[in-house]
Amino acid sequence: MTEGFDEHGQQASPCTMVIFGASGDLTKRKLIPALCNLAKDRLLSPQFAVIGFSYDSLTTEAFREQLSKDIREFAPEALDDKLWDWILERLYYVQGDFQDSAAYEKLRVQIAAAEKAHSTQGNRFFYLAVSPKFFAPVAKQLGQAGLTQETDGRWSRVIVEKPFGRDLDSAKELNRELKKILSEQQIYRIDHYLGKETVQNLMVFRFANSIAEPLWNRQFIDSVQITAAETVGVEQRGGFYETAGALRDMVPNHLFQLLSLTAMEPPISFDADAVRDKQAEILHAVQVPKPEEVTTMAVRGQYGEGMAGAERLPAYRAEPRVSAASNTETFAALRLEIDNWRWSGVPFYLRTGKRLPRRATEIAIQFRRSPFVLFRKTKIADLQTNRLVIHIQPDEGISLRFGAKVPGPVMRLGLVNMEFDYARDFGRSHSTGYERLLYDCMIGDATLFQRADMVEAGWRVIQPVLDVWSAVPAERFPNYAAGSWGPAEADELLTREGRSWRPIGEEHASSEPNAVPATVGRATAGVH
C-alpha cells in the first residue's frame, strides 16, 4: 500500500470500519471482498482498520481464521497473499449483544486500540448489516457510548441496510429515531443496486451525450419499463419474505432508485444533494394512486409449481417457513405516471418477481413510432422499432434497437441492435457492487445513498397499494407457474393500452410483423 493518490481517484480518509452482524453472509460474500478490491486499487488509506461486532462467540483470531477461509471462496478474483495479510492484520472482533450497553463499552475500547495501532485519526463508520429491528437500538447504543460524536474535524457515519421501514409510518418513525442520535449528513441509507456500473453510467449517458437528452421526454418517448427479475425462489428466506413480499422488498428502494435516475431533471452539479434533490423531485411527482385505482394499476402474483427445463420447481407455499395458505406476493407490477412537464402522459411500468425465466435487471425506453404515411403502401405494418435498453445485471451494458431495410427488391424491415457491453469493451469487472458505496462513505460522498425525504416519498407512493392488498386478500393465489413471466394480469396491464412487456432474453424481432431476425452490431468504446 502506498500513501497519497491513486491514478484512478483520491485515496480514502484514514478510518475504522465497524461491521455489525459481522458473522453473517454479507460480510464474507460482499464487504470483505469489496475491501480487498479497494485495497488492490490503492483506494484504502494505509491508516485503516475493520472491527467485526456480532453475537457469535468468536475471538479476533477465530474471526481472522474464518475470513481467511471465506475469502478464498468469495473473492471475485485470485487474491494476492500480501494484500490479504495487510487486510488480516487490521481485522478485529468484539462479541456482544446489540442491545447490551456493556458490549458497546468493549467496542469503544477496541476502537480506541485500533485507532492507536493504525493511526485512523478518530474517523469511523458503522455498517449495520443486521435485522431492521436493530437499526434504531444500535444507533441509540452508539450514541450513548459516545461513538457517533464528531469533534475536532473527526467524522462518524452510519450505513443502514434495507429495508428502511415496512411502510410509510414505520419509515418516518425510523427516520425520527435515527435523527435523535445522528444528523442527516451522518446517515448513509445504502442500496446496493446503485453500486452497479450501469446505474452510475445512466447519468453519464443522459447528461454527457448530446444525442440522448433532447429525446428524453414525452415528445419522443412512448413508455418506460423497469424490470428486476429473479430465477430463484425464496430459498431459506421464507420467514423474512412472509413479512415482506415482493412489493416491500424491491419497489420503494431498488426500482424507485432506478426510476428516479431515469426520469430526473439535470442537476446543477454532481454534488450529493444536487443529485438527490432532483431524484426527490421525481419521487414526489409520481402520482399516488387512490384506493379505487389500485386494482387497475397494480398486479400481484404468487408462484405455484413449475418447470425449469427438466427440473420441477416447488410452489411458494411449499417453501420452508412459508404458510400453506400464504397471501404473500412473490411478483408485483405497477403502472405509474409522473406528473411533471417532461413526463406527463408517459406510463412507467415496473415489475419484479421471483421464479421468473431469466435473471435480469434492466430499464427499457420505448420511443414513439414514426409517422406511418411514408410506408403506407409497403409490407411494413409496425414501425415501433426504436428501443433503448440499459442492462444492469447480470450483463451490464446498453443496447439500441432500430429498423433497417432488408436487402432485396421488396421493402421489408429488419431490426438491428447496436450494443455496448461493459465486459467486452472495458474489460470484465471483478467488482462485488459494494466497492463504490464503501469508498463513497469513506470520502463523505452521499450521492448514491438515499436521503430521508426520498425514502418517505417512495413509501408514500406504494402505501395505498399495501393498504388495499392487506385489506383484500388475493383471490386466486398461486396465479403463475414457477419459470413463467408472472400472472396474466401483468400482461393485461400493458395490452389494454396497446403495449407489451419487452421479451427479455428473446429474439424480439420474430414478434414484429413482417420483420426479419435481428442482427447484432458492435458498438466500439474507448477510454478517455
Alpha helices in 133-237 (DSSP H): 135-144, 168-179, 197-207
In a domain, 252, yes or no: yes
Question: Do 120 and 215 fall within a single domain?
Answer: no
Question: Do 289 and 345 fall within a single domain?
Answer: yes
Q: How many domains does the chain fold into?
A: 2
Q: Please answer whether residues 330 and 245 qualify as being in contact, where contact means their C-beta atoms are separated by less than 8 angstroms.
A: yes
Place of cell 414514426: 370
All three cell numbers of 94? 468484539
In a domain, 176, yes or no: no
Q: Please answer whether residues 47 and 120 qualify as being in contact, where contact means their C-beta atoms are separated by less than 8 angstroms.
A: yes
Q: Please answer whether residues 182 and 158 qualify as being in contact, where contact means their C-beta atoms are separated by less than 8 angstroms.
A: yes
Q: What is the pLDDT of residue 275?
A: 92
Give the end of a domain, one of 139, 161, 183: 161
pLDDT in tens, the chain (528 residues): 333 334 456 899 999 999 999 999 999 999 999 999 999 999 999 999 999 999 999 999 999 999 999 999 888 788 889 999 999 999 999 999 999 999 999 999 999 999 999 999 999 999 999 989 999 999 999 999 999 999 999 999 999 988 899 999 999 999 999 999 999 999 999 988 787 777 778 888 888 888 888 999 999 999 999 999 999 998 878 888 999 999 999 999 999 999 999 999 999 988 889 999 999 999 999 999 999 999 999 999 999 999 988 899 999 999 999 999 999 999 999 999 999 999 999 999 999 999 999 999 999 999 998 776 566 666 555 556 689 999 988 888 888 888 777 787 777 777 778 888 877 777 666 778 899 999 999 999 999 999 999 999 999 999 999 999 999 999 899 999 999 999 999 999 999 999 999 998 753 333 343 333 333 444 444 443
DSSP conformational letter for 292: G
In a domain, 190, yes or no: no
All three cell numbers of 307? 418447470
In a domain, 506, yes or no: yes
Question: Do 243 and 376 fall within a single domain?
Answer: yes
Q: What is the pLDDT of residue 294?
A: 96
In a domain, 127, yes or no: yes
In a domain, 216, yes or no: yes
Distance CA 27, CA 34 (A): 9
Question: Do 80 and 229 fall within a single domain?
Answer: no
Q: What is the pLDDT of residue 435?
A: 92
Under DSSP, is residue 402 helix (H, G, I), strand (E, B) or coil?
Answer: strand
Question: Do 301 and 199 fall within a single domain?
Answer: yes
The CATH number of residue 43's host domain is 3.40.50.720
Q: Which of 95, 74, 92 is nearest to 17 (CA)?
A: 92
Catalytic residues: 254
Question: Do 129 and 199 fall within a single domain?
Answer: no
Q: Please answer whether residues 383 and 222 qualify as being in contact, where contact means their C-beta atoms are separated by less than 8 angstroms.
A: no
Give the end of a domain, one of 143, 161, 179: 161
Question: Do 234 and 130 fall within a single domain?
Answer: no
Question: Do 10 and 131 fall within a single domain?
Answer: yes
Question: Do 218 and 90 fall within a single domain?
Answer: no
Question: Do 283 and 431 fall within a single domain?
Answer: yes
Question: Do 283 and 404 fall within a single domain?
Answer: yes
Cα→Cα distances 520→212, 390, 517, Å: 21, 16, 10
The CATH number of residue 386's host domain is 3.30.360.10
Q: What is the pTM of this model?
A: 0.89
Question: Do 108 and 248 fall within a single domain?
Answer: no
Q: What is the pLDDT of residue 407?
A: 84
In the sheet with 124-128, reading across from the earlier edge strand, the strands are 91-95, 48-54, 15-20, 124-128, 156-160, 187-189
In a domain, 257, yes or no: yes
Q: Which of 162, 30, 31 is nearest to 91 (CA)?
A: 31
Q: What is the pLDDT of residue 517?
A: 38
Give the end of a domain, one of 146, 161, 176: 161
Q: Residue-wise over 170-189: b if at least 16 C-beta within 10 A, else e?
A: ebbebbeebeebbeeebbbb
Q: Please answer whether residues 405 and 414 qualify as being in contact, where contact means their C-beta atoms are separated by less than 8 angstroms.
A: yes
Which domain does 343 fall in, by range?
195-522
In a domain, 179, yes or no: no
Report the amino acid identity of residue 442.
M
